[in-house]
A and B are shown apart, each in its own frame.
Chain A
């Protein structure tokens, strides 16, 4: 493993995942040999493909993140995913199931490089790594009890149902128990509850992804949560931690940010590359004398996005770095 000894890297809070765990050659977005265009593949963003047997891999990843804490000033850091309870279905799920490909269609096809927030909160069955078992079943226990659907009456305790029925209806909605609307309200969760359920699922998924080392995925979900629930307390901390880790990761892969960047492709061939306008913009800033750090400064993009694109350009050998 290559240590990140780049000078100038800000010291991470002790609660954050240790920098030593960052492997510059490791990619959380691309998996060799995986055809992303294959319609059978559920995910357009695949996390890590473990070389170890999946069970061992899960354990090793969990061990790595066990001491990780999302940094936050003045508040208790969020706990890493708690060890599953014996009764928890996620615990009961076989690890090989957890890492096998799911055949469900992708929930939201996205550009793997995009860090734009999700348009909506992901459903709680959004994939973490490579889940195999029906995601609903695996994610069910992660949903906090208070936000769970009352659709399945057998899951609610009788007292709560009783109190629900006994509670006087709002004056403007005086409902007859025989009213089909009331039946409907028992069959379908109210929109707020549904939203909360989805949100709780997304939070659980964000935590899972974070724990699995899928920081890009966790960041996207965190940003999606913040878009719909700006007051959420956990998502900003996870988002920041993910950004820190990803920034360090890409920085480490690029090496010294004081290196001068040069375009390695003849100018008349650039248009035949597969780039987007943001990569095109960064390329246009390269004048033969500018350093990586200067490009990050003047790109006008979030630093993480610029680092990610610079790394991609380097990987594609569109640019080269030198002193």
Chain B
């Protein structure tokens, strides 16, 4: 049966998991890490870097390193989030041809789904290396607040990466799925997700028959582990400035080291009471000497430095419960998600607010990916007890007089679905109405996302409220929204079809898919060459080590000299093949080298 991977495509870190038998497992990357930074960079030489390696040069190559692309995915160019990102990002954000967002790296411009596809492709490679077979299908998670365009953009990113994204599921739902896996439960839970860059709190109802309903979700897209790191960096920089009068922020290399060290120290302080931050040769002075930074950070100091950040998470939790119209006592369990929830101060705050110890049965870094993997397996195995129903992530409706939002299809409605409502004219002798199709939960129309608009004309002239217009919303199984408006008296009708868009055309997506495929092929060729080269170099070293011994044993005989000459020729040919970067030729030579090595070893052992 085809394997489906579950991918938690995070703002700062991503994770991939798969169901092995009945057990969901996270797949470690080549470095042995179970999460991979969602960071993409292009080096001066034009080389693409993804993951840890990209993160480690994020400050020294800030202009060409993209982080937190998730904050931009599926957004329109003129959205406030994009405006904010332009102000705060170190990389260049430009307008795309379809009023979408593009990112400039070196001399090339990339769409946001393209950037995310690089991370997804990396996760795909991690899974393929682990499984030893190609992976085609995936379930990808997104925040519960993502609208249709953002979800479509995530799907497009998957397609560009060569993945068929068979389902997009909400992150808190995935976490709940992993938490409730193998248990039959019926309870209300809070998913407290404090990641590297964002904080989300979701209240869910887990039904007895695999029903996972997101009652409310809220958060802060600019609150996460990076803010905690920043406080440590501030502390270190201030201390160093007091001591030496040098501002380490002015040096990119120093800042990169500070960031790496701060994150490391923060993680360590979740397990120990204090840790030493030791950064030798952090900066050179004008007097041709280098200074060292060495400080001990204790857990209470960190807690003091980040007290307000933790408090902010609690305030947002209060908001989420208010939105869900629930009392804190009605929350029956708290699921922790995200690496930052390992911090004892965060756990204490959660315990303090919810009045109960958070659930620690699931790994906070892995739980979302595990849930996605469970869902992926359920979809291909057709296990209906675990299949999440496709629901509308947000309410759908139209704008009415006074800029109010009138909801037709509520949030979390299972698709396909259809709803109808009757409206009337708002002015006397009104002959046309403009139908603005919107998505969101706010009562105010301008706070929701505009999906499309159309005009229904030819209405009968009549006093306001006398002409009735029937508006019907339909969502088919593919998630395509159709809106029909009909004058109930004269049958005059007009309609619109709203398809979620990532801001990319099909042709663009196809081109990007081809480019991604080419990159993958190139990378695989390089990897095969490197592997063959490693084998060849190991064998050459071994053979060269044996040469003196061989010469001693058989060098005096004609056949011995002949064999040695042939072996030297093989070594030379192999070196030439390595230089020419011909993988096939190197592999051929590796076979010959292996035979030579075996023969030499045999001769030496007999001699």
Q: Which residues on A sit within 8 Å (CB–CB) of B278?
A: 267, 271
Interface size class of B (residues with CB under 8 A): 35 or more
Contact among A5, A270, A297 with B45 in the assembled complex (CB-CB below 8 Å): A297
Alpha-carbon gap, A258 to B578, bound state (A): 13
Is A111 an interface position by the 8 A CB rule?
yes
Alpha-carbon gap, A284 to B251, bound state (A): 15
Query: Could you give, for residues 282-314 of chain A, a 1 whenever the CB lies within 8 Å of some chain B CB and a 0 otherwise?
Result: 011100011000100111100100000000000
**Are A281 and B257 in contact (CB-based, < 8 A)?**
yes
Alpha-carbon gap, A31 to B61, bound state (A): 35
Is B71 an interface position by the 8 A CB rule?
no
Query: Could you give, for residues 517-539 of chain B, a 1 whenever the CB lies within 8 Å of some chain A CB and a 0 otherwise?
Result: 00000000000001001100110
**Are B581 and A298 in contact (CB-based, < 8 A)?**
no
Which residue of chain A is the closest to B62 with respect to CB atoms?
A300
Is A278 an interface position by the 8 A CB rule?
yes
Is A8 an interface position by the 8 A CB rule?
yes
**Are A277 and B579 in contact (CB-based, < 8 A)?**
no
Q: Which residues on B sit within 8 Å (CB–CB) of A294?
A: 53
Is B252 an interface position by the 8 A CB rule?
yes
CB distance from A318 to the nearest CB of B (A): 11
**Are A280 and B533 in contact (CB-based, < 8 A)?**
no
**Are A277 and B56 in contact (CB-based, < 8 A)?**
no
**Are B290 and A275 in contact (CB-based, < 8 A)?**
yes
Contact among A256, A276, A284, A297 with B284 in the assembled complex (CB-CB below 8 Å): A276
Contact among B252, B292, B294, B538 with A300 in the assembled complex (CB-CB below 8 Å): B252
* Contacts between chains A and B (CB distance < 8 A), count: 85
A284 in contact with B57 given A271-B292, A276-B284, A289-B31 (CB within 8 Å) = no
Alpha-carbon gap, A323 to B279, bound state (A): 27
Alpha-carbon gap, A62 to B45, bound state (A): 34
Is A49 an interface position by the 8 A CB rule?
no
A7 in contact with B533 given A277-B290, A297-B53 (CB within 8 Å) = yes
Is A279 an interface position by the 8 A CB rule?
yes
Contact among A111, A284, A289, A290 with B257 in the assembled complex (CB-CB below 8 Å): A284
CB distance from A286 to the nearest CB of B (A): 11
**Are A277 and B252 in contact (CB-based, < 8 A)?**
no
**Are B288 and A111 in contact (CB-based, < 8 A)?**
yes
Q: How many residues of A are counted as interface, with CB atoms below 8 angstroms from the partner's CB atoms?
A: 28
CB neighbors of B among A87-128 (8 A): 111
CB distance from A250 to the nearest CB of B (A): 16
**Are A297 and B47 in contact (CB-based, < 8 A)?**
yes
Contact among A111, A271, A279, A297 with B49 in the assembled complex (CB-CB below 8 Å): A297
Query: Could you give, for residues 64-86 of chain A, a 1 whenever the CB lies within 8 Å of some chain B CB and a 0 otherwise?
Result: 00000000000000000000000
A279 in contact with B43 given A111-B288, A297-B53 (CB within 8 Å) = no
Contact among A5, A279, A284, A290 with B279 in the assembled complex (CB-CB below 8 Å): A284
**Are A277 and B47 in contact (CB-based, < 8 A)?**
no
CB neighbors of A among B439-477 (8 A): none
**Are A281 and B43 in contact (CB-based, < 8 A)?**
no
Is B34 an interface position by the 8 A CB rule?
no
Alpha-carbon gap, A275 to B289, bound state (A): 8
**Are A7 and B281 in contact (CB-based, < 8 A)?**
no
Which residue of chain B is the closest to A270 with respect to CB atoms?
B280
Q: Which residues on B sit within 8 Å (CB–CB) of A270?
A: 280-281
Query: Could you give, for residues 45-72 of chain B, a 1 whenever the CB lies within 8 Å of some chain A CB and a 0 otherwise?
Result: 1010100011011001100000000000
CB distance from A217 to the nearest CB of B (A): 20
Q: Which residues on A sit within 8 Å (CB–CB) of B256?
A: 281, 300
**Are A298 and B579 in contact (CB-based, < 8 A)?**
no
CB neighbors of A among B33-48 (8 A): 43-45, 47
Which residue of chain B is the closest to A274 with respect to CB atoms?
B290
Is B563 an interface position by the 8 A CB rule?
no
**Are A256 and B537 in contact (CB-based, < 8 A)?**
yes
**Are A299 and B60 in contact (CB-based, < 8 A)?**
yes
**Are A5 and B579 in contact (CB-based, < 8 A)?**
yes
Is B25 an interface position by the 8 A CB rule?
no
Alpha-carbon gap, A179 to B146, bound state (A): 83
Alpha-carbon gap, A270 to B49, bound state (A): 29
Which residue of chain A is the closest to B538 with respect to CB atoms?
A323
Alpha-carbon gap, A285 to B256, bound state (A): 10
Q: Which residues on A sit within 8 Å (CB–CB) of B408?
A: none
Is B283 an interface position by the 8 A CB rule?
yes
Contact among B47, B281, B294 with A283 in the assembled complex (CB-CB below 8 Å): B281
**Are B288 and A300 in contact (CB-based, < 8 A)?**
no
Is B253 an interface position by the 8 A CB rule?
yes
**Are A258 and B530 in contact (CB-based, < 8 A)?**
yes
Alpha-carbon gap, A277 to B253, bound state (A): 8
Which residue of chain A is the closest to B43 with respect to CB atoms?
A297
Is B568 an interface position by the 8 A CB rule?
no
Q: Which residues on B sit within 8 Å (CB–CB) of A271?
A: 278, 280-281, 292, 294
Is B260 an interface position by the 8 A CB rule?
yes
Is B282 an interface position by the 8 A CB rule?
yes
A285 in contact with B56 given A256-B537, A275-B290 (CB within 8 Å) = yes
Which residue of chain B is the closest to A6 with respect to CB atoms?
B579
Is B564 an interface position by the 8 A CB rule?
no
- Max chain B Cβ within 10 angstroms of own Cβ: one of A258, A270, A276, A281: A281
Which residue of chain B is the closest to A269 with respect to CB atoms?
B280
Is B254 an interface position by the 8 A CB rule?
yes
**Are B257 and A298 in contact (CB-based, < 8 A)?**
no
CB neighbors of B among A246-278 (8 A): 256, 258, 267, 270-271, 275-278
CB neighbors of B among A108-163 (8 A): 111
Is B575 an interface position by the 8 A CB rule?
yes
CB distance from A157 to the nearest CB of B (A): 49
**Are B280 and A298 in contact (CB-based, < 8 A)?**
no
Alpha-carbon gap, A284 to B281, bound state (A): 10
**Are B53 and A276 in contact (CB-based, < 8 A)?**
no
Alpha-carbon gap, A96 to B279, bound state (A): 49
CB distance from A44 to the nearest CB of B (A): 12
Q: Which residues on B sit within 8 Å (CB–CB) of A267?
A: 278
CB distance from A36 to the nearest CB of B (A): 13
**Are B290 and A281 in contact (CB-based, < 8 A)?**
no
**Are B49 and A277 in contact (CB-based, < 8 A)?**
no
Alpha-carbon gap, A256 to B575, bound state (A): 12
A278 in contact with B45 given A284-B260, A297-B57, A298-B57 (CB within 8 Å) = no
Alpha-carbon gap, A277 to B248, bound state (A): 12
CB neighbors of A among B229-266 (8 A): 251-254, 256-257, 260
22 contacts between A and B (CB under 8 A): A111-B288, A271-B278, A271-B280, A271-B292, A275-B280, A277-B281, A277-B283, A277-B284, A277-B290, A278-B253, A280-B257, A280-B279, A280-B282, A281-B257, A285-B56, A297-B45, A298-B49, A299-B57, A300-B57, A303-B44, A303-B45, A323-B534
Q: Which 9 pairs, one residue from A and one from B, show the smallest C-beta to C-beta distance? A: A280-B281, A300-B60, A298-B57, A281-B253, A271-B280, A277-B284, A7-B578, A276-B284, A297-B43
A interface with B by C-beta (< 8 Å): 5, 7-8, 111, 256, 258, 267, 270-271, 275-281, 283-285, 289-290, 294, 297-300, 303, 323
Q: Kindly list 5 other residue pairs between chains A and B, CB separation below 8 angstroms, not including A277-B281, A281-B254.
A: A258-B530, A277-B251, A278-B284, A298-B54, A303-B45
